[in-house]
Amino acid sequence: MTTLKNDRLLRALLREPVDVTPVWMMRQAGRYLPEYRATRAKAGNFMSLCQNPDLACEVTLQPLDRYSLDAAILFSDILTVPDAMGLGLYFTEGEGPHFERPVQDEAAVDALGIPDMEDDLGYVMDAVRTIRRELDGRVPLIGFSGSPWTLATYMVEGGGTKNFSKVKGMMFDRPELMHRLLQRVSESVTAYLNAQIAAGAQAVMIFDTWGGALTPQHYEAFSLAYMQQIVNGLTREAEGRKVPVILFTKGGGLWLEKMADTNCDALGIDWTLSLANARARVGDRVALQGNLDPCALYASPAHIREEVGKVLASFGHGNGHVFNLGHGIHPEIDPEHAGVFVEAVHELSRPYHVGS
Amino acid sequence: MTTLKNDRLLRALLREPVDVTPVWMMRQAGRYLPEYRATRAKAGNFMSLCQNPDLACEVTLQPLDRYSLDAAILFSDILTVPDAMGLGLYFTEGEGPHFERPVQDEAAVDALGIPDMEDDLGYVMDAVRTIRRELDGRVPLIGFSGSPWTLATYMVEGGGTKNFSKVKGMMFDRPELMHRLLQRVSESVTAYLNAQIAAGAQAVMIFDTWGGALTPQHYEAFSLAYMQQIVNGLTREAEGRKVPVILFTKGGGLWLEKMADTNCDALGIDWTLSLANARARVGDRVALQGNLDPCALYASPAHIREEVGKVLASFGHGNGHVFNLGHGIHPEIDPEHAGVFVEAVHELSRPYHVGS
């Protein structure tokens, strides 16, 4: 494989010195970019875009051509895994994802298969290989998956949810069935992330979007335990380098210590806690990724720079910070504002790395 | 005024001994009850129900006739205040609240008046007086308001929001304008809660539904500072008794210590942290109200009792616990399950109060 020209991301995730703080944006390949909307229109719909490795590669690279980002992230959707497990994923305009066959009883849980990573999810692995080839070592490629609990919420509800009525109903009433479902999903996710690493992903991130909707005890038993299982099962080295693992539970600020105990390399941090607080609590055990409020990008360039400066100051000097938004960039954001953000991170972070 | 026959709520909010843990439910007068749906149909729509003191009283009392609850809470909406400030509130079916005249610039902020509590919001005060008369001392009546930040999100966005783009855009870009807006709202809310207390509310609760969407620094400056101002301005005694003040920031688990510093009497706690954790952090400074996950009520009676038992055990022995859900009861909940919940709190909490 080609030598990596910019390895700031991988170094920072392993708490090694860097010249400036690396930065990328969750959903950086997304609707806020006119070129993304054009490619998506060409693909026809969202799923055709995910399933076409050349177009998935095209949108993955678009933000890198605009901004001096320090990482690419695979363009895909977290629901590819349950789709490959047989649930029949489809999207409706304005309403988001749905499953034709939600998982709501014992028979449905027992019918779930572990997908074959090349037969059922080969389009994802092809996208990873294509992106790596086209990146040609510019920056590392991040692979990702949803967490088992997060995937299970969609699988049981049959789509998005505000109330979590069905999935929490199952969790409270039939905990053993919920555990069986999460076990199958965890095995699938472990295989999925390992296949992405084998195909060329140089770091992986687990998105636990809905772990923050749980009580502390349920979070540990129904979300964290399965992320732990995945971390234990992952290939942690490839191409002669460590493959860092990032865990991100949105709204998980109360549970950072327990997340750091999983032996992951880094924690994604949303904007509801300061990096200073997070760092004081997890010390040097893990790197931290975050955590500008995505809404700061609605502000004027001067205010964006100011807010970036505050986040950098909150982390302070030392290694182990990857700058990011605290959640995905919103579709309404002006692409120029995203550029101001990326430049501000590189420019304003330099003093924090002098002598490192 | 009539003697209060059941004062468990007021005693627990002031950390005084009680025989069993008092319990009420956020949104206990609500759509999960068929009798509520019937009264609402009679009223025509949601706002007519809020604005008719007799019907507002009727729905306030409905859950008390079904369950042995230890408190009534005024039936109203947090958006009555911005409506009275001139924004023109209306509701659309399935889409929630909207304002005809959102507050998005300097002129709109400067045009905001402080409503007259009897001229503009007399229907709320009439409802409080009617409910007190009809309650006839059965249980205390809780009054409430939205927090200034929470009200401002609706006022700036013009309705509900997922992204907070406009209100946070204003906060990041024009902090001084946002402070001016929040100042006016705080003055209105202080007058509103004091008028409710004068009309007969025996405890008051401030609902900060959207404080948890902020960074810690923005929470302190744009939400907590204004709740502090309100707490400072409230009448804390009426009819010869203290009027306890409850603060509730949904998703505010990281900031409990700062909330307890406001000199409020109690904190509402959602289900994302344990009462044991909350209690260890705030000690005996405030009482705690919460915190069963409202989704637990989807489970079977045996599991509901089990989850109630866990919350009671988490708080443990001693004074200062008011049982509640961590958020409003969902409209889909079986009313029988709500009954199981209320009975379980009284029955299972008795051992925690022996000797007190």
pLDDT recorded at residue A354? 87
CATH value at residue B181: 3.20.20.210
pLDDT recorded at residue B354? 87
Mean pLDDT (chain B) is: 96
Whether residue A251 lies within 8 A of chain B, CB to CB, comes out as yes
The verdict on residue B309 lying in a domain is no
A 10 A CB-CB count for B235 gives 15
Contact A172 B295 (CB under 8 A): yes
Residue range B209-236: average pLDDT?
Answer: 98
Is residue B48 a contact partner of residue B39, using CB atoms and an 8 Å limit?
no
The verdict on residue A237 lying in a domain is yes
Is residue B204 a contact partner of residue B193, using CB atoms and an 8 Å limit?
yes
Cα separation, B204 vs B246, whole angstroms = 6
Whether B281 is catalytic is no
The verdict on residue B257 lying in a domain is yes
State the catalytic residue, choosing from B31, B66, B101, B174.
B31
Cα separation, A356 vs B2, whole angstroms = 73
Q: Is the confidence at residue B1, as pLDDT, over 70?
A: no
The verdict on residue B202 lying in a domain is yes
pTM, two decimals, is 0.96
> What does DSSP say about strands B96-99 and B89-92: parallel, antiparallel, or unpaired?
antiparallel
The verdict on residue B305 lying in a domain is no
SS3 for B162?
A: coil
What's at B286, amino acid-wise? V
The verdict on residue A111 lying in a domain is yes
pLDDT recorded at residue A350? 97
Output the CA angle B131-B137-B139, nearest 5 degrees: 80
B275 exposed, middle or buried (CB, 10 Å; 0-12, 13-18, 19+)? Answer: buried
The verdict on residue B331 lying in a domain is no
Per-residue pLDDT of chain A (356 residues; tens, 9 = 90+): 578 999 999 999 999 999 999 999 999 999 999 999 999 999 998 999 999 999 999 999 999 999 999 999 999 999 999 999 999 999 887 778 999 999 999 999 999 999 999 999 999 999 999 999 999 999 999 999 999 999 999 999 999 998 999 999 999 999 999 999 999 999 999 999 999 999 999 999 999 999 999 999 999 999 999 999 999 999 999 999 999 999 999 999 999 999 999 999 999 999 999 999 999 999 899 999 999 999 999 999 999 999 999 999 999 999 999 999 999 999 999 999 999 999 999 999 999 998 76
Whether residue B307 lies within 8 A of chain A, CB to CB, comes out as yes
Q: pLDDT digits over A169-182, tens only?
A: 999 999 999 999 99
The number of domains in chain A is 1
The verdict on residue A2 lying in a domain is no
* Distance between A304 CA and the closest CA of chain B, angstroms: 8
- DSSP codes, A282-317: HTTSSEEEEEE-GGGGGS-HHHHHHHHHHHHHHH-S
Range of the domain at B168: 8-19+29-287
Taking CB atoms within 8 Å and a gap of at least 24, the contacts of A347-354 are: A347/A20, A348/A305, A348/A308, A348/A309, A348/A312, A349/A20, A349/A21, A349/A312, A349/A323, A350/A19, A350/A20, A352/A21, A352/A312, A352/A315, A352/A316, A352/A317, A352/A318, A353/A17, A353/A18, A353/A19, A353/A20, A353/A21
State the catalytic residue, choosing from A40, A184, A279, A305.
A40
3-state secondary structure B273-322: CCHHHHHHHHCCCCEEEEEECHHHHHCCHHHHHHHHHHHHHHHCCCCCEE
Whether A101 is catalytic is no
- B232 vs B125, B194, B217, B236, CA distance in Å? 22, 12, 21, 9
